[in-house]
Structures are given as structure tokens and as C-alpha cells.
């Protein structure tokens, strides 16, 4: 038994899976799942043991998130955002960067991190911001709107970024944490709109967050960066952990889709052939194709997570500027592969899965969200083309 299966037992996963359909149907937050995962220390997974955590590597955390996603994809996606922030601490710690300690201590103290980076119309994502930061004595007052803020009902620390108003400095972007006054109400200047009513991933409750003078204190700043792609360690950690842990969640969806399709096709029988559908060559081809897609992504995901875990050691790979392309490429291939896997599983499993409320129907809606997470298909191909061909000539 591995550390991952010890942490996420079959019994716990069964309980979480049993709740997934209801939270999806009711468009409700995964509150019971969250409390159960918190109880077993799941939110401290990436915190080193010396700080009071479980001491998982990023590779182990990705395996855990993949396993959780087989039970409830929206639960895994929502809690993923907390792990992304703690993952920043993990990568900083591997580099010997003391900024990791603040993240670890907050996580052990029970703080819940969320990801307040995405903005409507900002296709630069981490490398620019439409949210403005007005300098004040205590730090900055932020004005802007963040979208897809998963864990909206529970976060206590929100990682945000903003462009400092009127700042001609070489590092106009500021990254740091906003704090809720308590676990139930937002701090002044932060409004969480209860507007999440999406096609899939409904239990993640990824609501819109409006910043109207929210105070980002100087002591809560993690970094300042240029408004352009750059290798800042904090930005690097955000980018890498976000892409890899997302890839893990969607690979978990692929895992579950294959399992469900196998179960259905081995128990359904063909009236014409008086044999299980699993003997049908076309059904076998669909399921085999799904397995081939999933297995290819699995190997890429494990290797790149292991490469990150080797930071600061003599095993650290010399990926250099290719790190970002590798991260975004794995995320893109994982989400596209998962979409194709679910499609093949549906093709193999019969018309009953087209009914509202079937598990494959829910997985089909959930997996579509992978198209919208950064890095999207367009940015992946643009960045890869630039790395191979250079910039477009003027």
C-alpha cells in the first residue's frame, strides 16, 4: 500500500463518489468532501514533515489528485487550487527560498488557499493583469474582477496579482495574499458573487470575485515581477504546479471513464451475438484506444512531476526556458486526451449513458472544463511555435 492509497482509502473514495451526483445536481459546494479531506490532513499533503505536514512530493500529490478525481472530479478540481498554492511553497522550499515558510505555516494553521489570478479578457494570465493596484501606506488597494475562483465558499487566503497603477518600474506586477476576516465573511473590499452555474465541475463553486479596494498588505506580498514572461521563482511555481496538478485531475477523469466503460461492456450482452459487448471488436477498439491515450499522458505527467521534485538536487534536469512549454504541453495533452477518452467510453457504453444523471454523462460535462484552464490550446501552440521558429516577423 502506498502513501497515496493509505491517505485516500477505498472506503473514503466510495463515500466521496456517492456524494458526487447530488452535489452536481444541486450545484452545491462539496462541503462534506472538504471536511472529510481536511480531517485526514489532505490539505497539508505538500507541506514538509518538519513543518507539520505529510511531506508528499509533487509526484505523490499528483497521484493523490488523480485518485481523488476518479471519485469526484469537481472536488478534486476545487481543492486543486489550494494544492497549487502549497505547491508554490514546495518548489520554493526545494530551491532553498525562505518564502516557502509562510505558505507552509499558514497551511498547517488551517488556512485554505485559493487562486485569484484568472481575469476575463486577460490572455497573458500570469504575465500581466487587468486588476489595478493603487499604492497606499499599508500596501496597495486592488480594483478588478477575478473569475473562476474555485473554493469560493471556504477560502481564507486568496493569491492575487495586479498591475501597480502608474508604475514605470521594471516590475509592475505584484503578487500576494488577500485575507478573509474569518472563515465565513470576506475582508473589506472583496465580494464573492454566487454566480457559479456551469455546465460541469459544478461542485467546485468557482465563483467570480470582485475586488473593490481590497487591501493587499506589504507583508503579504510574495513577489514583484515584470509584465512579461519571466522565470521568477514564484511565477514558475504557480505555472508548474497549476499545469501539472490540473493534468492529474483530468487524467483521473480518464481513469474513471475507462473503468466505467469496462464495467458496462463486460456486463451488457448483445442480443444478436449472445455474448458480452466486451467481445465486440469495435467496442474493444474504442476501449483500447482510450487506454492508449491515458497511458501516454500518465508517463509524461509522472516524469515531469519527478523533474520538479528534483529541483535543487544534483538530479535537477536542465530544461531551462523549456520548463514552461513542458508544463503547458502536458496540461494540454492531458485535458485533450481525457476528453477523447470520455468520448470513446461513451461510444462503447450504449445509449443509457446519454441520460441525465449517469456517471459518464457527468464525466462528459466535467471533462469539457479542461479546455478553458490556462494554458489553452492557442497559447500552447503559439508558445511552442515561438520556441521552435522564433517570433513572428514584423
| DSSP three-state, residue 131 | coil
What single-letter DSSP state applies at residue 51? G
Residue 187 predicted with pLDDT over 60: no
pLDDT digits (tens, 9 = 90+) for 329-347: 999 999 999 999 999 999 9
Average pLDDT over residues 213-231: 94
Average pLDDT over residues 57-62: 98
Least confident of 55-69, 180-194, 278-292: 180-194
pLDDT of residue 188: 78
Instruction: Quickly list DSSP for 263-285.
Output: HHHHH-EETTTTEEGGG-HHHHH
8 Å CB contact between 148 and 203: no
The pTM of the whole model exceeds 0.75: yes
Average pLDDT over residues 241-269: 96
pLDDT of residue 184: 42
What is d(CA 243, CA 38) in angstroms, rounded to the nearest whole number?
Answer: 23
| DSSP three-state, residue 160 | strand
pLDDT digits (tens, 9 = 90+) for 30-56: 999 999 999 999 999 999 999 999 999
pLDDT of residue 168: 63
Average pLDDT over residues 118-140: 95
Place of cell 476528453: 339
Using alpha carbons, list the distances in angstroms from residue 193 to 29, 66, 152, 196, 267.
14, 29, 9, 8, 45
Residue 136 predicted with pLDDT over 70: yes
Residue 297 predicted with pLDDT over 70: yes
Return the percentage of the chain with pLDDT > 70, whole number: 97
pLDDT of residue 152: 97
Please, is 276 exposed, middle or buried when counting C-beta atoms within 10 Å of its C-beta (0-12, 13-18, 19+)? middle
Place of cell 473554493: 151
* pLDDT class of 183 with cuts at 50, 70, 90: very low
Amino acid at each position: 500500500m502506498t502513501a497515496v492509497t493509505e491517505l485516500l482509502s477505498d472506503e473514503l473514495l466510495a463515500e466521496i463518489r456517492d456524494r458526487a451526483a447530488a452535489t452536481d445536481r444541486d450545484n452545491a459546494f462539496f462541503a462534506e468532501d472538504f471536511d472529510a479531506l481536511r480531517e485526514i490532513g489532505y490539505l497539508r499533503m505538500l507541506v514538509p514533515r518538519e513543518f507539520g505536514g505529510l511531506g508528499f512530493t509533487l509526484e505523490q500529490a499528483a497521484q493523490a489528485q488523480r485518485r481523488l478525481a476518479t471519485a469526484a472530479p469537481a472536488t478534486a478540481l476545487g481543492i486543486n487550487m489550494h494544492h497549487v498554492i502549497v505547491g508554490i511553497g514546495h518548489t520554493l522550499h526545494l530551491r532553498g527560498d525562505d518564502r516557502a515558510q509562510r505558505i507552509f505555516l499558514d497551511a498547517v494553521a488551517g488556512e485554505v488557499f485559493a487562486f485569484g489570478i484568472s481575469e476575463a479578457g486577460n490572455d497573458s494570465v500570469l504575465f500581466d493583469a487587468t486588476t489595478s493596484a493603487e499604492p497606499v501606506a499599508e500596501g496597495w488597494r486592488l480594483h478588478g474582477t477575478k473569475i473562476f475562483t474555485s473554493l469560493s465558499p471556504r477560502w481564507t487566503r486568496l493569491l492575487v496579482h495586479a498591475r501597480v497603477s502608474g508604475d514605470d518600474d521594471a516590475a509592475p506586477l505584484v503578487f500576494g495574499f488577500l485575507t478573509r476576516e474569518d472563515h465565513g465573511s470576506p475582508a473589506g473590499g472583496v465580494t464573492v458573487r454566487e454566480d457559479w452555474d456551469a455546465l460541469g465541475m459544478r461542485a467546485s463553486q468557482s465563483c467570480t470575485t470582485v475586488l473593490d479596494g481590497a487591501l493587499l498588505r506589504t507583508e503579504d506580498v510574495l513577489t514583484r515581477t515584470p509584465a512579461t514572461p519571466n522565470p521568477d521563482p514564484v511565477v514558475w511555481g504557480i505555472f508548474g504546479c497549476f499545469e501539472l496538478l490540473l493534468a492529474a485531475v483530468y487524467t483521473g477523469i480518464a481513469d474513471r471513464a475507462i473503468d466505467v466503460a469496462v464495467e458496462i461492456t463486460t456486463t451488457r450482452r448483445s442480443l444478436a451475438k449472445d455474448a458480452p459487448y466486451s467481445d465486440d471488436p469495435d467496442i474493444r477498439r474504442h476501449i483500447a484506444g482510450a487506454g492508449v491515450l491515458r497511458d501516454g499522458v500518465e508517463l509524461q505527467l509522472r516524469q515531469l512531476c519527478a523533474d520538479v521534485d528534483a529541483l535543487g538536487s544534483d538530479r535537477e534536469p536542465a530544461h531551462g526556458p523549456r520548463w514552461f512549454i513542458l508544463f503547458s504541453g502536458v496540461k494540454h495533452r492531458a485535458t485533450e486526451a481525457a476528453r477523447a477518452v470520455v468520448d470513446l467510453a461513451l461510444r462503447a457504453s450504449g445509449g443509457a449513458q446519454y441520460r441525465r444523471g449517469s456517471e459518464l454523462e457527468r464525466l462528459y460535462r466535467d471533462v469539457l472544463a479542461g479546455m478553458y484552464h490556462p494554458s489553452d490550446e492557442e497559447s500552447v501552440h503559439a508558445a511552442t511555435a515561438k520556441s521552435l521558429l522564433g517570433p513572428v516577423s514584423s
